[in-house]
Amino acid sequence: MKVELKVNGQAVGMDVAPNTLLVQFIRDHLRLTGTHVGCDTAQCGACTVIANGRAIKSCNVLVAQMQGAEITTIEGLAGADGSLHPMQAAFKECHGLQCGYCTPGMVMSGVDLLAHQPQATEAQIREQMEGNLCRCTGYHNIVRAVQAAQKTMAA
């Protein structure tokens, strides 16, 4: 079947099998491999992307459900000149990543969180980030990074 949507601002149209997951479409068809698969079952959040302004786990939706949608992946977050998004910059500054595998999902969840709750408290940030698993950092610096981005983005 034919799917048409926008990914990182670019219109894409492609023939895919109807059972193609959004994450397969992003990784295998578009070769945007920054979006990772950590559990295949919508539990770990490594595959988080933003679809029509909300963070979703792309391993858990079919691309067929995304007709006409606007998707942002980790590759689409930095500025055209390569400047990092404040959330990306904050993760680097606060050492919010180690092996980097959960990172794209964490960053996308953080962006979504602040888009909807710009005033989120630390407790709310911790609560909201529960859908993303990280085994390396112990989360402390991830939460600090989201808080740091919160400050930059408010400024």
Partner 1 sequence: MGANQFAAMPHVGESVRRVEDARFLTGAGNYVDDIRQEGQKYACFVRSPHAHAVIKGVDATRASQMPGVVRVFSGQDIDGKVGGLPTGWLISNPDGSPMKEPAHPFLAIQRVRYVGEPVAMVVADTLEQAKDAAEAVDVDYDTLEPVVDMRKAEDGPALHAEAADNRCYKWVLGDKAAIDATFANAAHVTRIDLVNNRLIPNAMEPRADNAHYDRASGESVLYTTSQNPHLARLLLAAYVLRVPEHKIRVVAPDVGGGFGSKINLYSEDAAVIWASRELNCAVKWTAERSESFLTDTHGRDHITHAEMAMDKDGKFLALKVHSDVNLGAYLATFGPAVPTILYGTLLAGQYTTPQIYVEVDGWFTNTAPVDAYRGAGRPEAAYLVERLVTRCGWELGLSQDEIRRRNFITQFPYQTPVALQYDTGDFPKCMEEANKLADVAGFAARRQASEAKGLRRGIGYSSYIEACGLAPSHVVGQLGGRAGLYECGEVRVNPTGSITVFTGTHSHGQGHETAFAQLVAARLGVAIDAVEIVHGDTGRIPFGMGTYGSRSLSVGGVAVMNALDKIEEKAKKIAAHLMESSDADIEFTNGEFSVRGTDKKVPFAEVALAAYIPHNYPLDKLEPGLDETAYYDPSNFTFPAGTHICEVEVDPATGVVRVDRFTAVDDFGVIVNPMIVEGQVQGGVMQGIGQALLEQCVYDPDSGQLLTGSYMDYTMPRAADFPEFRLGTVCTPCTHNPIGSKGCGEAGTIGSPPAVINAVLDALEPLGVGDIDMPATPYRVWQAIQAAR
Contacts with partner 1 by CB under 8 A: the residue count is: 53
Q: How far is the CB of 69 from partner 1 (least distance, A)?
A: 19
- 86 and 152 Cβ atoms separated by less than 8 Å: yes
Q: Is 155 exposed, middle or buried (0-12, 13-18, 19+ CB in 10 A)?
A: exposed
User: Should residue 100 be labelled a site residue for partner 1 when binding is judged by CB under 8 A?
Assistant: yes
Scan residues 21-40 and list those touching partner 1 (CB under 8 A).
27, 31-40
Q: How far is the CB of 22 from partner 1 (least distance, A)?
A: 15
Q: 68 or 123, CB closer to partner 1?
A: 123
User: Should residue 44 be labelled a site residue for partner 1 when binding is judged by CB under 8 A?
Assistant: yes
Residues 126-145, mask of contacts with partner 1 (x by CB under 8 A): xx-xx-xxxxxxxxxxxx--
User: Should residue 116 be labelled a site residue for partner 1 when binding is judged by CB under 8 A?
Assistant: no
Q: Contacts by 144-148 with C-beta closer than 8 Å and gap 24+?
A: 144/94, 144/96, 145/87, 145/90, 145/91, 145/93, 145/94, 145/96, 145/110, 146/87, 146/90, 146/110, 146/113, 146/114, 146/120, 147/122, 148/90, 148/93, 148/94
**How many CB atoms are closer than 10 A to CB 84?**
15
Q: In the set 14, 43, 60, 153, which binds partner 1 (CB under 8 A)?
A: 43
The footprint of partner 1 (CB under 8 A) covers: 27, 31-41, 43-44, 46, 73-75, 77-78, 84, 88, 91-93, 95, 97-104, 107, 123, 125-127, 129-130, 132-143
